[in-house]
Chains A and B, each alone.
Chain A
């Protein structure tokens, strides 16, 4: 099978071209060792199948980023039969910079000259024959968005794949020719293959090459003094980069028949930017857009129409689908789909349980299949519509180029914490659901930034944690007759946000030093998007999520079900016997662990219910309150529950004797600790094994510490002084260490 790779700058239309060529055959995985998307697909040419790989978007083949190293290694080691190098014709100079580097490798290649439609609108005319002559590569005009020219492109690529191509360097058009020729011939003498590529890398001072030919490198350094200018001194890497652009400028004169009036085009784009990055209105517009996205995805009172229709509007009451369109308000499309899947799940499970019981299946088997397997699966799958809808909108914002503007607007606020403005998007998404938020961190620049962001995402309390907040806050108000439920809920959200930012600052100065990677980003022009590309993207995300739902998440769910429905003697237990289960006993065992948090040994013999609820919350955070209901029914005679779970909580409060500060601390713990299995699985997909393990520990430790502080300060108000004193000294120590580190860093680079 022929193997073709697509290489190009970010925003050059590379992924659109890939989707055009491979359609729905695309398969997304990770490159080994890093979490950079590896996309592969099949191009069908009659009966012949051709493997197409979409390489990460790159500006250069420098050795500094994962993406660049992946592309370089792919070309050098995977030995593709042909490379398609896509370039944006409206931004040709900078796009050709990467081309000049690929040309130096002997791999067969074709230039795909993209955005020909925009070129026409911008009055750009280029001469393809001159371009082919200057580069020594075949070139095909395409328009990836409309799909025109791609067939021809593939034909040329297949034709070229059979031929050999001599490596060529445009650098030989500059004064560096003498030096390159010299090194190339020396390498050729000692029998190095692709001497041209290695010669240029050696002149650049690439570490691997220098280690291979230390003697020759010394000679080069001596020799290159003749070529060095005042600006570049002994920086050969810079000298070569500069020379590449000089060479491109030289051939540009041949290539362009007509160049665009640049500033006009910029003014065009600026019209939209005048609104979207307006100094005053830019941020409010962003907030409104985010609000609308959330509203459509999660709201249960869509467009605030609830009041208009009254309570009895299509509630479908009495039918199985009661509440599908909403109760007391109209559901947003997202909430409607969520209810639909939940209802279908309930109907299916009810039917299935009936069938099993009718067939005389053992009660443990019914419980296992219905409550263990299917209930777990439907709980996870019911998140799916909202995840996809959220993802759909964010992909639109990303692909049109709006997201880049947001980064530009907000970067300053995040720079101090060592993050870039881009990190805001996953954080805000976290309020909806941690899963798409964690997936979105793939767009972040550095490993450190990604890691820090993933770690704090669960602190932005998601929709599923809201029932914990409202039920417990409601119970506090009703049982103790103090406070205001809304105020408690709001306060907990603030606690989460504050914890997130403190954690980021501490990480950026301790374990994740050097998070502030350079911020040099292209601001792409606003572009229209292709619906089919968007759908392919969503389909990928859905496949991944469903895969996880049926493997990691399902397995974890079954384990929790099993330990909550079997006793140590491996006897099957009904729901109402949860207290006798393995999980119940485990709760009793670990109860003392939560003493500093207020729900440990200071409570009576029923105090373990809180530990159990934390564990069941790992399946889905909604389970925390549901577990209270189950346990209240098990341990309290004459218990009666309610929908919101407030009365379950009140009865649990009565039975355990827990205090208000301890309840608040319990909410804080659930908000900040290890998120649900589905979110954990997403984090696992985005992190290396080691980073992932530390992240789990980080979640546990952070939630434990913050909840301890909440309990202590809530119980003894003066404890706040002790906490502040400890916090101040920790921060001072960190700051002193960080200053030392920075000083050392400056000394090294100077």
Chain B
């Protein structure tokens, strides 16, 4: 994996990136895609639960929560604060 690519599950709070791949199979993968986690979509990590899992992310104008195990299926390219490639 390239230097500025990482999994959504490894994001820190307020980090933003765009989706480059959705892994997984069957129901989980379909659900991620159905909820709008598709190629080139911008996702920001807003918050983590007090126990570190699940995560609260923002995409397509709404807030989604998902567990780290599901978030680890989403590969991201990081963006800097201006929204450019980091």
Chain B, Cβ-Cβ closest to A281: B50
Contact B41 A94 (CB under 8 A): no
Kindly count the residue-residue contacts between A and B in the assembled complex, taking CB atoms under 8 Å apart: 122
Chain B, Cβ-Cβ closest to A282: B50
Main secondary structure of the interface of B (DSSP, over half): mixed
A132 CB contacts on chain B under 8 angstroms: none
A262 CB contacts on chain B under 8 angstroms: 58, 61
Is B12's CB within 8 Å of the partner chain A? Answer: no
Main secondary structure of the interface of A (DSSP, over half): helix
A207-264 contacts to B (CB < 8 Å): 229, 231, 235, 237-238, 241-242, 245-246, 260, 262-263
Beta-carbon contacts of B18-46 to A below 8 Å, as 1s and 0s?
00111001111111111110110100001
- B82: shortest Cβ distance to chain A, in Å? 14
Say which one of A38-46, A405-413, A677-685, A702-710 lies at the interface with B.
Answer: A405-413
Beta-carbon contacts of B43-65 to A below 8 Å, as 1s and 0s?
00011011111101010111111
Contact B36 A279 (CB under 8 A): no
- Interface residues on chain A, size class: 35 or more
B26 CB contacts on chain A under 8 angstroms: 64, 749
Total interface residues in chain B, CB < 8 Å: 37
Is B4's CB within 8 Å of the partner chain A? Answer: no
Chain A, Cβ-Cβ closest to B20: A231
The docked-state distance in angstroms from the alpha carbon of A5 to that of B34 is 22
- A510: shortest Cβ distance to chain B, in Å? 22
Contact B50 A260 (CB under 8 A): no
- B80: shortest Cβ distance to chain A, in Å? 16
A280, A408, A518 — which one has the most chain B CB atoms within 10 A of its CB? A518
Query: When A242-B33, A408-B56, A521-B64 are in contact, do A270 and B39 touch as well, CB less than 8 Å?
Result: no
Is A283's CB within 8 Å of the partner chain B? Answer: yes
Partner among B21, B22, B49 whose Cβ is within 8 Å of the Cβ of A408: B49
The docked-state distance in angstroms from the alpha carbon of A521 to that of B49 is 14
The docked-state distance in angstroms from the alpha carbon of A62 to that of B64 is 19
A241, A266, A407 — which one has the most chain B CB atoms within 10 A of its CB? A241
Contact B38 A241 (CB under 8 A): yes
Is B66's CB within 8 Å of the partner chain A? Answer: yes
B32, B50, B70 — which one has the most chain A CB atoms within 10 A of its CB? B50
Beta-carbon contacts of A279-317 to B below 8 Å, as 1s and 0s?
110110000000000000000000000000000000000
Chain B, Cβ-Cβ closest to A235: B29
Contact B27 A408 (CB under 8 A): no
Contact B31 A412 (CB under 8 A): no
Contact B62 A91 (CB under 8 A): yes
A399 CB contacts on chain B under 8 angstroms: none
Contact A412 B49 (CB under 8 A): yes
Is A66's CB within 8 Å of the partner chain B? Answer: no
Contact A522 B63 (CB under 8 A): yes
Beta-carbon contacts of A669-703 to B below 8 Å, as 1s and 0s?
00000000000000000000000000000000000
Is A739's CB within 8 Å of the partner chain B? Answer: no
B66 CB contacts on chain A under 8 angstroms: 519-521
Contact B50 A409 (CB under 8 A): yes
The docked-state distance in angstroms from the alpha carbon of A273 to that of B48 is 12
Query: When A93-B61, A408-B54 are in contact, do A59 and B49 touch as well, CB less than 8 Å?
Result: no
The docked-state distance in angstroms from the alpha carbon of A407 to that of B65 is 10
The docked-state distance in angstroms from the alpha carbon of A521 to that of B34 is 12
Chain A interfacial positions (CB closer than 8 Å to B): 59-60, 62, 64, 90-94, 97, 229, 231, 235, 237-238, 241-242, 245-246, 260, 262-263, 265-266, 269-270, 273, 277, 279-280, 282-283, 404, 407-409, 411-413, 415, 518-523, 525, 749
Top 9 A-B residue pairs of the complex, sorted by shortest distance between their CB atoms: A412-B51, A241-B33, A60-B34, A523-B63, A279-B50, A242-B38, A64-B27, A518-B28, A520-B66
Chain B interfacial positions (CB closer than 8 Å to A): 20-22, 25-36, 38-39, 41, 46-47, 49-54, 56, 58, 60-67, 70
